Structure 1
Amino acid sequence: MIQALWRRRGVPLAWLLLSRQPVRLLIALAGISFAGILMFMQLGFRDGLFDASVTIHRLFDADLVLMSPRSMSSISMAGFPERRLIQTMAEPAVESVSPVHWNFVLWRNPETRSTRSLLALGFEPDDALFVDSMLADQSASLRQKGRVLFDARSRPEFGPVAERFNAGQVVESEVAGQRVRVSGLVELGPSFGADGNLITSRETFRSLLPSTSRGSIELGLIRLRDGADPEAVAERLRAWLPNDVSVFTKKAFIEFEKNYWRSSTAIGFIFSLGAAMGFVVGCVIVYQILYGDVSDHLPEYATLMAMGYPLRDLLAVVVREGLMLALVGYVPAYAAGEGLYALIRGSTQLPVGMSPQRAVLVFSLILVMCMGSALVAMRKLADADPAEIF
């Protein structure tokens, strides 16, 4: 049986044609890998931008969110009357609410004395701000005016705040010209809109930004009773609340922020265009390799056609060449993508990582790139006339 299978084995013609010229094969694989790496990086930056823009949004302990209709994104938040949040308590499904201030302030580096903008959140220390328990043991310290929680994952330009605090030192600095003391650390991470984050009480927040109206807030977090449908409750609140406030479910609140970066800025388009350019570059490289291979072996193909081999079998050889190039070229692109993602995370603290969806997408694009180039290159073989070649 083994001998019968051995006699029936197929000749790996596609691989023999590719490996006959190792230099050309390496160039083709390098081109495919380069195109794959470019697509991985561009799509990774794009998705990382969207994920980083909603890092804090995801952490909020809320089922519904109130926001001013004049707010465009996290970098352009407008205030709305706090009484609108209090009015939502009339809805039987609402269990509790939390007013939140959201604005950017200038932080002075305690070491270099330079200033840099970071995002400040103000809330009532007794309220549940995040679903994570990171604030549970530290929020009590914010009841004292002038105390803040600093984001340990903020960019290093803000100074060695986390290092000094963990070393047991008293860390003080200036925010908006006011003296503050770091009473704890949280881990949120920077985004494209904010390089660092600061959490404090509403009292301290208003002292840092005295222009903030006492009757105005930027966000209203609403927690519902168990079993309540957020969509249905949101619809009821929209029906009777004035139009000076917008009601979002938490999922819609996250999508609202992502949509701003996706459609209202050129950043998402630029990264998508970069991925498309990588795809085009790969197509050109693979087409040139396969076209050159077909041209170099036209006499051999013509001989096989004269011997009675159908054209579809010869075309299948070129298709298998494209498939092999896609499979072999994808592996180094994936490995390089993982390494570069790790480098970016370590350097920028941005949530850039390999996701299964992106890995499948890039492989699919590389496969389409190679197979499409093979189909175009096969036109020369389909037009070949054995009599003219000889």
Structure 2
Amino acid sequence: MNFKIPLAWIQLAQQRIRFLVAVAGIAFIVLLMFVQLGFQDALYSSATQLHQSLKGDLFLVSAQYKSLTANQSFSRTRLYQALGFNGVESVSPMYIGFAKFKNPVNGEKYSIYVIGIDPGKPIFKLPEVQKNIDKIKIPDVVLFDRNSRKEFGPIAQKFEQEKTEPTIEIFPFNSYRGYRVRVGDLFSLGPSFGVDGNLIVSDTTFLRIFPTSRPPEMIDIGAITLKPGVNPEKVMEELRANLPNDVMIFTQKGFGNFEKQYWATRTPIGFILNLMLTMAAVVGVVIVYQILYSNISSQFVAYATLKAIGYENNYLLKVVM
């Protein structure tokens, strides 16, 4: 039995060095594209990990809301108004804000994200938070994110290894007066490009940490839990049609996508990553073009001969590609 060896393979076998260089060039650009996509995924995954850890079918935020790191508060009344709509089972308020965390070892202060919740209406799906939710019912007791960056000091190590509950000092950004709290337990969430570390506290403790900058009736996020079998999209449309336009309503997926859009289009890191991905694609096109151009130029006589003896353009195109 006779086997036909493809002409394209014969050409590649005759020019092995050029073939290997072409493979290396294409492999490089593919690797470069995957690296850029990996950076983008890391950005978006870290930016939305808090969204994914929240319980709720719908989420209420201010109409001026841009991101978890650039948010605006809204009236708690809006959340209670949502509770009156058909299909809504319960609502949970959440306060968020940045404070300065004093490293107990070197005394340096670093920005930390403080999340205040109502312990009676848990909003987190994280098992460690659910397990230790009763601990933050005690005033001035917090849960510390063990995955926070190292600049906050050995807080998690002290708790886990020395079996002690470290006392830490937190400063509102508009105050030089610190507020002491005790670490009651740990949880795992992790930092992002905008957040270096996290604390979860009760709403009461949150308002003690920020006594002047945050009125109790102003919240940052409202989680809405629907009754079983209720269509979230339908309830969301009803809320949008009937609530004042000073709030926005999202499904959990839409809430995360809104955050991704912010980081992709309105932050320097998002612009740089998009630019690098575009540049990688352009470089890839140029490399592939140069490979094809070089191959056609070196085999121009052979292709002309094939054309002269009757082969059609489609056949030559298949050989080149």
The structure where strand makes up a greater share of residues is: 2
Structure 1 residues 217-242: Cα deviation after superposition (integer angstroms, max 9, x where no partner): 11111111112222222233334433
Q: Please give the alpha-carbon distance, in whole angstroms, between the structure 2 residues aligned to 1:94 and 1:286.
A: 56
- How far apart are the structure 1 equivalents of 2:20 and 2:58? 55
Partner of 1:152: 146
Please give the root-mean-square deviation of Cα atoms over the aligned residues, in Å: 2.2
For the pair 1:171 / 2:166, whether they are aligned, the reply is yes
2:230 counterpart of 1:254: no
Is residue 114 of structure 2 the alignment partner of residue 112 of structure 1?
Answer: no
The 5 Å alignment of 1:201-350 reads 201-211=202-212, 212-305=214-307, 309-319=311-321
Letter in 1 for 2:170: V
Tell me if 1:197 matches 2:198: yes
> What TM-score comes out, normalization by structure 1 length?
0.74
Residues 15 and 110 of structure 1, relative CA distance in 2, 3 Å threshold: farther
Distance (whole Å) between structure 1 residues aligned to residue 257 and residue 189 of structure 2: 19
Map 1:99-138 → 2, pairs under 5 A: 99-138=93-132
- Higher mean displacement: 16-25 or 207-216: 16-25
Match of 1:141 among 132, 135, 141: 135
3-state SS in 1 of match to 2:98: strand
Matching of residue 64 in structure 1 with residue 58 in structure 2: yes
**Native 8 Å contact 1:43 1:272 kept in 2:** no
How many corresponding residue pairs? 313
Residue 305 (structure 1) shift: 4.6
Alignment of structure 1 residues 17-96 onto 2, 5 Å: 17-96=11-90
Task: Check the 8 A contact 2:141/2:201 in 1, yes or no.
Answer: yes
Letter in 1 for 2:62: S
Question: Structure 1 19/283 Cα, relative in aligned 2: closer, same or farther at 3 Å?
Answer: farther
With over 3 angstroms needed to count, the CA separation of the structure-2 counterparts of 1:289 and 1:107, relative to structure 1, is: same
- Which of the pair is proportionally richer in helix? 1
Q: 1:90 to 1:282 in 2, by over 3 A?
A: closer
Contact residue 117 and residue 203 of structure 2 kept, 8 A? yes
Counting aligned pairs with the same residue, the percent is 43
Alpha-carbon shift at residue 74 of structure 1 (Å): 0.9
C-alpha separation between the residues in 1 aligned to 2:289 and 2:234? 54
Q: Which moved further from structure 2: 213-222 or 280-289?
A: 280-289
**Helix, strand or coil: the match of 1:191?**
coil
- Which amino acid counterpart does residue 183 of structure 2 have in structure 1? V
How far apart are 1:243 and its partner, in Å? 3.3
Q: Are the structure 2 counterparts of residues 299 and 224 from structure 1 closer, same or farther at C-alpha, using a change threshold of 3 Å?
A: closer
Quickly say closer, same or farther: Cα 1:76–1:305, change in 2 above 3 A: closer
Q: Unaligned stretches of 5+ in structure 1?
A: 320-390
